[in-house]
C-alpha cells in the first residue's frame, strides 16, 4: 500500500483535490480527513494561550461564599 498526502477543498458535496490523483477509475482508497483550522480559530487559540500565560489576579471565593444560601437572597 502506498501513501500520498494531498490537499483538497470540500464544496459542500464532494472533496476536490488540489492536484491530479493519478488513480484509475474505480480505485478504492482509504480517506483520512484532517480539517485545517481557519484563521479565526488560530486567533482564538492564540488568545486562549495569552490568557493562560497572563492570568488575572482576582479574589478567590471560599466554599462558604459559594453556598447557595449566600448567593441568592430570599425570594418571597
pLDDT in tens, 57-75: 888 888 888 888 888 866 5
Cα 42 versus chain centre, distance: 9
Q: Which sign does the torsion angle of CA 31, 19, 13, 40 carry? A: positive
- Asked if residue 6 lies in contact with residue 21, where contact means CB atoms within 8 angstroms, the answer is yes
pLDDT in tens, 12-56: 999 999 999 989 999 999 988 887 778 888 889 899 999 999 988
In angstroms, the CA 36 to CA 2 distance is: 23
Model pTM above 0.85: no
**pLDDT score of 67:** 85
In angstroms, the CA 41 to CA 47 distance is: 10
In angstroms, the CA 59 to CA 48 distance is: 21
Amino acid at each position: 500500500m502506498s501513501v500520498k498526502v494531498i490537499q483538497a477543498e470540500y464544496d459542500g458535496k464532494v472533496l476536490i483535490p488540489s492536484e491530479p490523483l493519478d488513480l484509475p477509475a474505480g480505485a478504492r482508497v482509504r480517506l483520512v480527513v484532517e480539517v485545517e483550522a481557519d484563521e479565526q480559530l488560530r486567533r482564538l487559540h492564540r488568545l486562549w494561550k495569552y490568557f493562560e500565560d497572563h492570568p488575572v489576579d482576582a479574589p478567590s471565593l471560599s466554599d462558604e461564599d459559594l453556598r447557595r444560601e449566600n448567593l441568592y437572597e430570599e425570594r418571597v
